[in-house]
């Protein structure tokens, strides 16, 4: 009995599906076996290496970054070259072992799949990075592929790229001596060829200087992305001795390469004070300053200024003798019309002024204060904030330095900033005022003449401001009362200072309670000298201050307890009787 045509078709489809399923299973089995082989080779090879980043599947270093003696002590070119040669040789050995197991030759590498599926093939792709084995076009193309992988916005595969052994090659490309070992570079089209001359070797292939710059740009970009990862990633590239090579590239005639190099150095400097000082000690500051002063490209100047601010950033502060040379350049940058340059220049000055009086004096002597005060009225709050921070740091100096800033008209700008939309700016203003009122009586009088005291009192009475701002306001008023003359204190009393001081006794912060008590104590002492003690004590009692002071005698803080007892015994003893 013959089958119907429909049955024949169904049987044929069924047989075809079974064949496809069998082929798919065989293919998956081969992939699993290959990945297992790759994993075994990687683990057996990496376990033999001395560096931690070679001996684990996920490179991790202790969180507390220790000094880098291997980098700091490698002052000679020979030591620096040994670091790269050793790392490159490890990468070569790894690829050789891997290809020996998987039977993939260098001449028969298949075209790679899309970037998203390349991670498992990184160790094989590294073979195309070696300058000894490959033509220059293949090296550039492969470096670009790694750079694109590292440029993925979310979770770039930095650990996988490090374990593949590719990064030492990127660092090697930054060194002209390394490139000339394998290629002749034609500098005939260069406007500023390097001072060193390499002899032409007819056994080597020749490349143009533009191709060289393209490779160094891609390699520097890849290193920048790695240094933008965790602190462990940053330290890894630093241990490959990339810093001096990037510093040398700051003189490159390629605009893209200069920008990428200064950006990478900024990332490394911003990672920690240890790496910041390492970049400074290897001579980055003069090169960065030269870039800023001579650079014609706005985008490169922006990145160079950002890097300069990172070279000032962090505590402990950088060596003053190194960064001092940058102060005049920073003041010049304050006159820039570029907002990004202004932002980073102001932050750099704020970092530089956060320290002892000799550093503050250096800022004053180069004429920075007038321009910083002018920038307080800038339309961009991102510029106002660091400019205000720098001014606040300067007024923490000695009395002469504070008076210098006040004579430049600082107090004409602060009242309007007390109502600025950004809380951080209002806090900075109030902090600056608290430092001014902690100064001389003449400085307190200048604050009074500017009409700022009533504004501070109004802010506290309204109760609408955040605690970060109000705590600085309490300090400003208490400092004025403790350091002012009787006439000045009488003015402050008349403006209504007693009520906010009494309200401050209910604040949960012990420090503010103590500040409010000391402010009331100063007011009472002055009132006693001016024969207006009854007026002041009645006002304190009216605003609930007396009851609060009595209750605070039970406070666990000894200083608060003793201050309350002193006030009650001296000024309210008759009422207690």
Torsion sign across C-alpha atoms 276, 282, 283, 287: negative
Q: Nearest 5 degrees, angle CA 205-CA 206-CA 212?
A: 120
pLDDT score at 27:
58
pLDDT digits (tens, 9 = 90+) for 8-34: 445 545 555 666 666 666 656 655 555
In what helix (H) or strand (E) does residue 83 lie, and over which residues does it extend?
Answer: helix 77-102
pLDDT in tens, 231-290: 999 999 999 999 999 999 999 999 999 999 999 999 999 999 999 999 999 999 999 999
Give the residue with greater pLDDT, 91 vs 528: 528
**Between 55 and 80, the higher pLDDT residue:** 80
Residue 30 in 3-state DSSP? Answer: helix
Phi, psi of 185 (to 5 degrees): -105, 125
Q: If you count them, how many residues does the chain have?
A: 577
Which residue matches tokens 């001449």? Answer: 107
Mean pLDDT, the chain, rounded, equals 84
What pLDDT was estimated at residue 93? 65
Burial class (CB in 10 A: 0-12, 13-18, 19+), 505: buried
**How many C-beta neighbours within 10 Å does residue 487 have?**
12
Task: Find tokens 């700016």 and name the residue.
Answer: 425
Query: What pLDDT is recorded for position 92?
Result: 61
What mean pLDDT do residues 172-180 have? 91
Looking at the DSSP bridge assignments, the partners of residue 205 are 183
Give me the pLDDT at residue 46, please: 46
Give pLDDT tens digits for 194-239.
777 788 888 888 888 999 999 999 999 999 999 999 999 999 999 9
pLDDT digits (tens, 9 = 90+) for 551-575: 999 899 999 999 999 999 999 875 5
443-577 topology per CATH? 1.25.10
What number of CA atoms fall less than 13 Å from residue 220's CA on the CB side? 30
pLDDT of residue 122: 79
What string of DSSP letters covers 243-281? HHHHHHHTT-S-HHHHHHHHHHHHHHHTT-HHHHHHHHH
Average pLDDT, integer, range 47-67? 37
318-337 b/e with 16+ CB inside 10 Å = b? beeebbeebbbbbbebbebe
In the predicted model, is pLDDT for residue 41 greater than 50?
no
503: tokens are 């309200």
pLDDT at residue 305 tops 70: yes
This prediction has a pTM of 0.78
Q: Where are the beta strands (DSSP E) in 480-571?
A: none
Give the torsion sign (CA, 251, 257, 259, 263).
negative
- Using DSSP, state whether 205 is helix, strand or coil: strand
**CA neighbor of 268 nearest in space, from 51, 56, 68, 52:** 68
Position 31 scores a pLDDT of: 52
Contacts of 191 (CB under 8 A, 6+ apart): 253
167, 236 contact by CB (below 8 A): yes
H-only helix segments in 126-230: 136-150, 158-164, 167-173, 176-180, 209-227
- Residue 33 or residue 329, greater confidence: 329
- pLDDT (0 to 100) of residue 103: 43
* Bridge partners, 206 (sequence order): 184
Check residue 271 and give its pLDDT.
92
Share of the chain above pLDDT 70, in %: 79
pLDDT digits (tens, 9 = 90+) for 91-115: 666 555 545 544 433 333 444 444 4
Instruction: Please answer whether residues 463 and 508 qualify as being in contact, where contact means their C-beta atoms are separated by less than 8 angstroms.
Output: no
Task: Give start-end residues of each CATH 1.25.10.10 domain in the chain.
Answer: 443-577
pLDDT at 74 over 70: no
Does the pLDDT of residue 139 top 80, yes or no?
yes
């Amino acid at each position: 009995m013959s089958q119907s045509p429909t049955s024949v078709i169904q049987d044929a489809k069924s047989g075809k599906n079974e064949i496809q399923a069998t082929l798919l299973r065989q293919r998956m089995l081969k992939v699993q076996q290959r990945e297992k082989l790759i994993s075994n080779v990687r683990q057996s090879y990496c376990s033999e290496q001395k560096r931690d980043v070679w001996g684990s599947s996920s490179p991790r270093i202790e969180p507390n970054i220790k000094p880098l003696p291997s980098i700091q002590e490698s002052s000679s070119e020979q030591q620096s070259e040994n670091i790269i040669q050793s790392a490159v040789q490890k990468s070569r050995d790894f690829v050789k072992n891997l290809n020996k197991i998987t039977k993939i030759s260098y001449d028969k590498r298949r075209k790679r799949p899309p970037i998203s599926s390349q991670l498992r093939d990184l160790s094989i792709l590294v073979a195309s990075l070696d300058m000894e084995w490959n033509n220059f076009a293949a090296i550039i193309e492969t470096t670009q592929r790694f750079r694109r992988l590292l440029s993925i916005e979310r979770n770039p595969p930095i650990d996988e790229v490090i374990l593949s052994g590719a990064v030492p090659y990127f660092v090697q490309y930054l060194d002209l001596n390394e490139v000339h070992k394998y290629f002749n570079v034609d500098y005939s089209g260069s406007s500023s060829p390097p001072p060193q001359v390499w002899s032409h070797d007819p056994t080597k292939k020749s490349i143009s200087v533009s191709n060289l710059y393209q490779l160094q740009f891609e390699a520097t970009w890849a290193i920048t992305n790695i240094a933008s990862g965790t602190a462990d990633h940053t330290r890894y590239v630093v241990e490959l001795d990339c810093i001096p090579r990037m510093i040398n590239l700051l003189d490159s005639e390629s605009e893209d390469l200069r920008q990428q190099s200064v950006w990478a150095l900024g990332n490394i400097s911003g990672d920690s004070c240890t790496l910041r000082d390492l970049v400074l000690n290897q001579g980055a500051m003069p090169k960065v300053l030269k870039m800023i002063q001579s650079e014609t490209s706005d985008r490169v100047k922006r990145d160079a200024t950002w890097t300069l601010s990172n070279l000032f950033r962090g505590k402990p502060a950088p060596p003053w003798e190194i960064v001092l040379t940058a102060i005049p350049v920073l003041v010049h940058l304050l006159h820039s019309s570029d907002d990004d340059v202004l932002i980073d220049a102001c932050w750099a000055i704020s970092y530089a002024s956060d320290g002892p009086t000799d550093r503050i004096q250096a800022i004053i002597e180069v004429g920075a204060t007038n321009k910083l005060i002018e920038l307080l009225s800038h339309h961009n709050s991102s510029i106002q904030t660091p400019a205000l921070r720098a001014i606040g740091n300067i007024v923490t100096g000695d009395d002469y330095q504070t008076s210098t800033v006040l004579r430049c008209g600082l107090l004409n700008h602060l009242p309007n900033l007390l109502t600025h939309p950004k809380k951080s700016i209002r806090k900075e203003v109030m902090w600056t005022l608290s430092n001014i009122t902690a100064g001389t009586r003449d400085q307190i009088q200048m604050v009074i003449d500017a009409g700022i005291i009533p504004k501070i009192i109004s802010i506290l009475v309204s109760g609408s401001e955040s605690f970060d701002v109000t705590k600085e306001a309490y300090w400003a008023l208490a400092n004025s009362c403790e350091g002012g003359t009787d006439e000045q204190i009488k003015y402050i009393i008349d403006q209504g200072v007693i009520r906010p001081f009494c309200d401050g006794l209910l604040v949960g912060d012990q420090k503010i309670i103590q500040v409010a008590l000391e402010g009331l104590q100063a007011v009472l002492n002055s009132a006693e000298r001016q024969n207006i003690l009854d007026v002041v004590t009645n006002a304190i009692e009216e605003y609930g201050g007396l009851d609060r002071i009595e209750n605070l005698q039970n406070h666990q803080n000894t200083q608060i307890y003793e201050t309350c007892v002193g006030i009650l015994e001296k000024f309210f003893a008759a009422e207690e009787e």
